[in-house]
Structure 1
């Protein structure tokens, strides 16, 4: 069972799940734990959800969405896994998505302590970045230009408030969706771009 949440890493994780599923000859499940407290429409999230559903369908996997409703994310994951008799769980370790809590050691320990007869696979950010060429076009120099409090993707620097970086356009989409790489404290940081607008906090 692959656990995916808001962000492009979900595609990479699903592909990893497909490989493991085929190797084991086992059915594949893709789980999204919805942590929102309302049913308010979120266009960015819905776009990612559409991609995940398509990938799951193409792989013959079952796509599941479970509301957290005040419960711990670990409880929701284990509950879904037990319901489907899952033996392998895949999660992503990334501080750049709403799965930020997964980077905390206590989350992984807590999840493992609740798992029965299951193995946990944690896919690191660095390994997913190495696979950018599988999911995104080659990066090009671009700019994030601030306009009415929102940073928007641009080919040229405009005004006084802009950020220079490299934009990796997501494959198989007509929209300006992808990752924007900047250098921060000597390290590369990847920001999510959805329909030409920055969706991550700076």
Structure 2
């Protein structure tokens, strides 16, 4: 048997080569200033330097924190580029100098920074992408509130509109994301101790951004974002290695509905469970094409549409499947989406219907494994 190989175009080959030659991006992610992102980045860099790696500082913002500055150690610092703006000399990262120096790895603090007008690139993350494209690895830092998709959420939480944002794809495409976590109480104590801001700014910070409620909410955003990234990587790993088992790393809820009025109860139960686990959930309806399946009336269709509206209002994804076997379609979908909990209602079939057509629940239980099933009473 002759094995066939798919030929790729020169354009595809060039794209693949560039991806392979591109530097690796590692991001230290935090939920607020002062959690220790820059400190951790410098600590890692010094360990690498001791092992012989050619690693330098491209841009560092210590905010005059002594414990952070003490971590610079023997690391080489690339001098900043001076740019005149409105008669004032400003300093920015010298991207060209870094590329010319060509270290193995460069540290670039504050990834979301906006460069001074007149710089080659508007944003620092664009400088970083240019460095990566030259095959140089980058280690950077970022706070969760600077992600573009969280801009509205952060404003609702803190009352502050974050002006400097970066596209989510920067974090999503990073080779490694490390969350630097610290309990809000410990962070507040660090702030009061003068380790984050100057004494004259501490009181204002405590009344505004550093309120404990704000910090708890931002911390949850950072942890959930990282969990999403890890979950996507895990899913890719399972697919690559043909792993079918659900490892229950993160909860996923599936609610099975019909046109029955009692389905609203199932949807509400699904919303409650999803809120409890703070996870995604899906409401699934199966359009059965089996020849003896009951045909939907106009009343059924209207009822089903009202179920869909309720599910969407409560934050669920709504999916309609089509197939001859309802249990098989539900089981297939649950396996594909790594569902961990299924919510389904008691059968409304009569005794004779169950004898003739069987029980959807019984058939479903035989088809699935490692999934919790909640059977909800109709009344």
Corresponding residue of 2:338: 85
Does residue 267 of structure 2 align to residue 14 of structure 1? yes
Q: Deviations over 1:138-168 (max 9, x none)?
A: xxxxxxxxxxxxxxxxxxxxxxxxxxxxxxx
Does residue 300 of structure 2 align to residue 45 of structure 1? yes
- What displacement does 1:45 show? 2.0
The DSSP-based 3-state class of the residue aligned with 1:63 is: strand
Contact 2:347 2:361 in 1 (8 A): no
What TM-score, normalized by structure 1, do the two folds share?
A: 0.52
Q: Deviations over 1:34-86 (max 9, x none)?
A: 12459x87411221122111111111111111112x2x221100111122221
Corresponding residue of 2:284: 31
Cα 1:107–1:37, aligned 2, differ >3 Å: closer, same or farther? closer
Does residue 310 of structure 2 align to residue 55 of structure 1? yes
The DSSP-based 3-state class of the residue aligned with 1:111 is: helix
Q: Tell me how far apart the structure 1 counterparts of residues 266 and 280 of structure 2 sit (CA, whole Å).
A: 15
The DSSP-based 3-state class of the residue aligned with 1:82 is: helix
Cα 1:49–1:109, aligned 2, differ >3 Å: closer, same or farther? closer
Q: Tell me how far apart the structure 2 counterparts of residues 6 and 52 of structure 1 sit (CA, whole Å).
A: 8
Cα 1:22–1:78, aligned 2, differ >3 Å: closer, same or farther? same
The DSSP-based 3-state class of the residue aligned with 1:26 is: coil
**RMSD, aligned α-carbons:** 2.6
Corresponding residue of 2:33: none
Q: Which has the higher contact order (CA 8 A, sep 6+)?
A: 1
Detail structure 1 runs of 4+ shifted over 6 Å in the superposition.
Answer: none
Q: Tell me how far apart the structure 2 counterparts of residues 82 and 37 of structure 1 sit (CA, whole Å).
A: 22
Residue of 322, 331, 341 corresponding to 1:67: 322
Structure of larger gyration radius: 2
- What displacement does 1:106 show? 5.3
Cα 1:18–1:79, aligned 2, differ >3 Å: closer, same or farther? same
Structure with a larger share of its residues in helix? 2
Q: Tell me how far apart the structure 2 counterparts of residues 119 and 2 of structure 1 sit (CA, whole Å).
A: 12
What TM-score, normalized by structure 2, do the two folds share?
A: 0.29
